[in-house]
Amino acid sequence: MQTKPIARLFGGFWKLFLILITLLAAQILLLIATIQILRRNKWLRAKMFKPLNVVTLPLAGRRFSPYALLSHTGRRSGRTYMTPLRAYPFADGFVLGLTWGPDVDWCRNVMASGKGTLKWHDQEYVLERPELIPSTIAFASYPLPIQLATAQGILTQCLWLHRPSEDSTKASAIERDSRKYPSAESREYQVSGGVSKGRDSAG
């Protein structure tokens, strides 16, 4: 006689579990479908996320913010843009998720310039050598929700940006010094109007 209430209770929990699993699966399918639509419709994506960016931009890059702030240069305009996004430390740099694919403007700008500045947890990082990599490579760097999105195929690619290497740092320092203190030969070249004296300008 006592087994029937227990059986009914167990049956109720089982039905509730199946309902929750069904709802979760439906949400995942809806999310995948929404992302696929937004990936193909740049105009709709911009309309949907413009109000969100207004809210997240002042918070991005702060110590307790889930968003980082990426500074990048427009590949055509040359202007500096700020984009709030998710960033995760990985190896010698950071990985940036590409939920909408690599054709988003900020990714194309960074790929064109080869560099960007990331503000993350109140710290600024100058990053370079961008690489498009499968998101599975940096799987361990993601929090659980992003790992689930990767496992479901929602997030398939990410952008890996590296911290400057020792060689590139030295090269940048040499370039800065050459601008500050031009050699006698380069000064003579500038004074002469771009024609180096005593040399064949065609050579």
Query: What would the pLDDT profile of 60-70 be if each residue is shown by its tens digit?
Result: 999 989 899 99
- Residue 176: inside a domain, yes or no? no
Query: Chain-wide mean pLDDT for the chain?
Result: 77
pLDDT of res. 201: 31
Question: Interhelix angle for 3-40 vs 42-56, to 10°?
Answer: 110
* 67 and 14 housed in the same domain: no
* 111 and 149 housed in the same domain: yes
pLDDT of res. 172: 52
Q: Domain of 16?
A: 1-40
- Residue 24: inside a domain, yes or no? yes
Q: Which two tokens stand for residue 153?
A: 């195929």
- SS3 for 69? strand
Gap between the Cα atoms of 69 and 72, Å rounded: 10
State if pTM tops 0.85: no
Confidence of residue 195 (pLDDT cuts 50, 70, 90): very low
Beta bridge partners of 134: 157
Buried-exposed string 142-163: b where 16+ CB fall within 10 A, e elsewhere: beeebbebbeeebbebbbbbbe
8 Å CB contact between 99 and 45: no
Q: Which two tokens stand for residue 196?
A: 């180096």
* Greatest distance between any 2 Cα atoms in the chain: 111
* 70 and 117 housed in the same domain: yes
Question: For 34-51, what is each residue's pLDDT tens digit?
Answer: 666 666 677 777 777 777
* 71 and 126 housed in the same domain: yes
Least confident of 66-70, 87-91, 103-107, 179-183: 179-183
- SS3 for 71? strand
> Is it the case that residue 82 has pLDDT exceeding 60?
yes
pLDDT of res. 131: 95
